[in-house]
Amino acid sequence: MRMNWLLPTAMLLPALMGGLLLVWKPRRRMTRLVMVGVTLAVTLLTVVWTAALPVLSVSLGPSSSAFPSFLLKTDEVARLFSVLTGFLWLFGGLYAFFYFKDDPLENRFFGVYLLVLGALIGLDFAGNLFTFYLFFEVVTLLSFPLVLHTGTPEARTAALKYLFYSLSGGFLALLGIAFLSLYLPSLTFTPGGVLSALSFSRRKELFEALIFVCLLGFSVKAGLFPLHNWLPTAHAAAPAPASAVLSGVLAKAGVLGILRVVYFVVGPDVLAGSWVQTVFLWLTLATIVIGSMMAYQEKILKKRLAYSTVSQLSYSLFGLFLLTPGGLEGGLFHVVVHALSKSALFFAAGVFVTVTGKATVDDLRGIGCRQPMTLIGYTLASLCLIGLPLTGGFVSKWQLATASLAAPLGGWSLAGPVVLLLSALLTAGYLLPPVVDGFFPGRDTPVFPRPAALPILSAVVLSLGILAVGLGLFPSVLTSFLSGWIGSLF
């Protein structure tokens, strides 16, 4: 029996429950907890079940050639991203429930939180470029209230900036998508791309320009320099659970978009060696460095982590633009590693900010005495992002470095490992001070006025940190999955 109904279910269940929460506004917290918790758990189960099944697809919409149709389809990429999304959303929901002890707007948060989950799953399951674009814009619109949550003037400015940058990125992508639709037999995602060299050779310059514009549009969401300005403010202004999923999962929508266009629509062989690839390699390397440098000099903890996201996402983008199997595998491995680590870091940051009542890194002295578990989780996640051996981050960095050296890029090949190393040093520089200061405060131990955070919050941080490191100890879990299908894209 075809289980195609699983696809819309995975998408609509959280969306409808989110809408229900917003409209019904249940008064008792327990009701809300049950609704949210059950929805998240069931959604995760559904996507895992979907991942275990062979390819499913659902399509509806215009059948004419003038307008593209709506298509949901599971392939390996969809499985990877949807399971990652569902998994982190569950952790985030759990964390959020205990984080928002008495926030009157908690209901709105959870309603929007579930809506965004539905839209993201739709994005992950999108089977053609039009459906992807649709969900891309919908995700932007729905996640806007998450950034806006606290309602302060800074949050409003950050949210509006996020909204307009992301929508603009979407429109740039649309320009490219419309052009591609004229020259491609279909916009459906096909491993290795459907573009034949012949079909675009007549208008090659325009074609390359519009592909560039399209990829640039998606890379706005992935925080590529110089279009990254929205990310630090937005991820810092959002409440900690939202920041975690924004950095950990939502920003990956941009990476997914680029992945889809390059590997499933256009084809890596078309772009290999072109100026498009060169420019993007430049930009990703620049972003890695600039993001790390900005993080290093940033004092506010959440903003520091946000700049770190800017930098780390470009690791994945760099791997994608190498246009080799090794690069792609490294990039995707890092997507998972970063999702786990950055979520842990933001969750930890939320705990720290709540306990100290302050926002900067300097105020974290001695926090290890009050929140040891949280700080250990933070340390594990940090080591992972730095790329210490035996952590997940090391595996992905190693893959990226070797892929860069192996890629047919001439002088470029060396730039990759150099930048990665430089960034690793900077990452250590901006992530480790809270660890050192936290566990070894020096002579006078500071007093923290607020009570300790609930242990469940620390447990979330710690478990994500352990998972991130665990990926380093048992990388074959992921690498064997990835290498199984990456070869088919080339």
- Our finding on whether 156 is near another protein (CB under 8 A) is yes
**Pairwise CA distance, residues 463 & 92, whole Å:** 12
- The first and second tokens of residue 428, run together, are 């250590």
Q: Which of 20, 41, 160, 286 binds another protein (CB under 8 A)?
A: 160
- Our finding on whether 134 is near another protein (CB under 8 A) is yes
**Closest separation between CB of residue 133 and another protein, Å?**
7
Phi, psi for residue 58 in degrees, rounded to 5 = -135, 130
Q: Which of 6, 116, 148, 266 binds another protein (CB under 8 A)?
A: 148
Query: In this complex, which beta carbon is closest to another protein, that of residue 167 or of residue 272?
Result: 167
Transcribe 164-190 into DSSP letters.
Answer: HHHHHHHHHHHHHHHHHHHHSS--B--
Stretch that binds another protein, among 175-183, 305-313, 351-359, 464-472 (CB under 8 A): 175-183
**Pairwise CA distance, residues 371 & 363, whole Å:** 14
| Positions in 181-220 near another protein (CB under 8 A) | 181-182, 203, 206, 210
Rg (CA), the chain: 21
- Our finding on whether 389 is near another protein (CB under 8 A) is no
**Closest separation between CB of residue 246 and another protein, Å?**
18
**CA 97 to chain CA mean position, Å:** 22
The conformation of residue 69, written as its DSSP 8-state character, comes to: P
Q: Are strands 70-73 and 57-60 parallel, antiparallel or unpaired?
A: antiparallel
**CA 361 to chain CA mean position, Å:** 24
Stretch that binds another protein, among 32-40, 171-179, 370-378, 477-485 (CB under 8 A): 171-179
**Closest separation between CB of residue 66 and another protein, Å?**
5
**Closest separation between CB of residue 40 and another protein, Å?**
26
- Our finding on whether 138 is near another protein (CB under 8 A) is yes
Q: Which of 48, 167, 289, 300 binds another protein (CB under 8 A)?
A: 167
**Closest separation between CB of residue 68 and another protein, Å?**
8
Stretch that binds another protein, among 41-49, 84-92, 170-178, 445-453 (CB under 8 A): 170-178
Closest CA to 341 of 194, 215, 463: 463
- The first and second tokens of residue 293, run together, are 């440098």
Query: In this complex, which beta carbon is closest to another protein, that of residue 125 or of residue 179?
Result: 179
Residues whose CB falls within 8 Å of the CB of residue 181, separated by 6 or more in sequence, listed in order: 68, 129, 130, 187
Which runs of consecutive H residues, i.e. helices, occur in 252-371? Answer: 252-259, 268-271, 275-297, 301-321, 325-356, 367-370
- Our finding on whether 24 is near another protein (CB under 8 A) is no
Transcribe 403-466 into DSSP letters.
Answer: HHHHSS-TTHHHHHHHHHHHHHHHHHHHHSHHHHHHH---SSPPPP-SPPPPHHHHHHHHHHHH
Residues whose CB falls within 8 Å of the CB of residue 204, separated by 6 or more in sequence, listed in order: none
Count of CA atoms in the C-beta half-sphere (13 A) of 244: 31
- Our finding on whether 6 is near another protein (CB under 8 A) is no
- Our finding on whether 63 is near another protein (CB under 8 A) is yes
- Our finding on whether 163 is near another protein (CB under 8 A) is yes
In the block, tokens 């990829």 appear at: 215
Question: Taking a C-beta distance cutoff of 8 angstroms, is the pair 436, 365 a contact?
Answer: no
Q: Which of 99, 130, 307, 346 binds another protein (CB under 8 A)?
A: 130
Q: Which of 44, 115, 123, 174 binds another protein (CB under 8 A)?
A: 174
Q: Which of 76, 137, 363, 437 binds another protein (CB under 8 A)?
A: 137
- Our finding on whether 1 is near another protein (CB under 8 A) is no
- Our finding on whether 157 is near another protein (CB under 8 A) is no
Residues that bind another protein (CB under 8 A): 61-64, 66-67, 70, 130, 133-134, 137-138, 141, 144-145, 148, 151, 156, 159-160, 163-164, 167-168, 171-172, 174-175, 178-179, 181-182, 203, 206, 210
